[in-house]
A and B are shown apart, each in its own frame.
Chain A
Amino acid sequence: NAGVTQTPKFHILKIGQSMTLQCTQDMNHNYMYWYRQDPGMGLKLIYYSVGAGITDKGEVPNGYNVSRSTTEDFPLRLELAAPSQTSVYFCASSRGTAGYTFGSGTRLTVV
């Protein structure tokens, strides 16, 4: 069982470029989430989805976009990358109050 798979694990992006962080889960979870983690600041929710075709903004959505066309996949799109988007990004999925399963993260540097 793979759980939650994130790609890439590391990436360096130039200012103004765009990229998509991939996230896929094989647990048939309805809920999926994108968080960013900055040192000492905990986990901040970017976007989340309660099912295919449904997405909602979290605490820090600016500069990001998501789509949820299937239950399994929840890609995060960064448009016009800025240095403030340098962070570690975690994708997670959940069946609800059973708790989240997190991916191993994508470490993104914008230079």
Chain B
Amino acid sequence: QQQVKQSPQSLIVQKGGISIINCAYENTAFDYFPWYQQFPGKGPALLIAIRPDVSEKKEGRFTISFNKSAKQFSLHIMDSQPGDSATYFCAAWSTLGRLYFGRGTQLTVWP
């Protein structure tokens, strides 16, 4: 079954708006939650990550909000730009030595 559930599958946002992508997990043993950004024809690249002892992490226009009790985390992109148009994957790290990925969100930012 899907270890990490991600929504929405696609998202269209106007330039300057806020993009929000949500993820949920079940396994409480996950201890590291990264987000990856993928442009067409490229491999995914690490964007930002958080550990479960922190409720929020901000890097520039990108913020992860983490709710440990609800087992949910989300990516917020402030002042979204056309250059942010990409596919975003949330993930969770297992102590078995691998990441479990969500199915991805295709973000389109209209100018």
Q: Is the CB of A90 within 8 A of B44?
A: yes
- Determine if A103 is an interface residue (Cβ-Cβ < 8 Å): yes
Given A31-B97, A50-B97, A58-B98: A100 and B103 interface contact (C-beta under 8 Å): no
Within the complex, the shortest CB–CB distance from A54 to chain B, in Å, comes to 10
**Bound CA–CA A92/B44 (angstroms):** 10
Q: Is the CB of A100 within 8 A of B9?
A: no
- Determine if A74 is an interface residue (Cβ-Cβ < 8 Å): no
The closest CB in chain A to the CB of B51 belongs to A97
Give chain B's interface residue range (CB within 8 Å of chain A): 20 to 34
Complex partner residue of B43 from A40, A99, A104, CB under 8 angstroms: A104
Within the complex, the shortest CB–CB distance from B24 to chain A, in Å, comes to 15
The closest CB in chain B to the CB of A4 belongs to B43
Q: Which 6 A-B pairs have the closest CB atoms?
A: A102-B43, A42-B103, A97-B32, A99-B46, A43-B101, A50-B97
Residues of B at under 8 Å CB distance from A? 6, 9, 31-32, 34, 36, 41-46, 49, 89, 93, 97-99, 101-104
Q: Can you list 18 residue pairs at the A/B interface with Cβ under 8 Å?
A: A31-B98, A33-B98, A40-B9, A41-B103, A43-B89, A43-B101, A43-B104, A48-B98, A50-B97, A90-B43, A94-B99, A96-B97, A97-B32, A100-B44, A100-B46, A103-B43, A104-B43, A105-B41
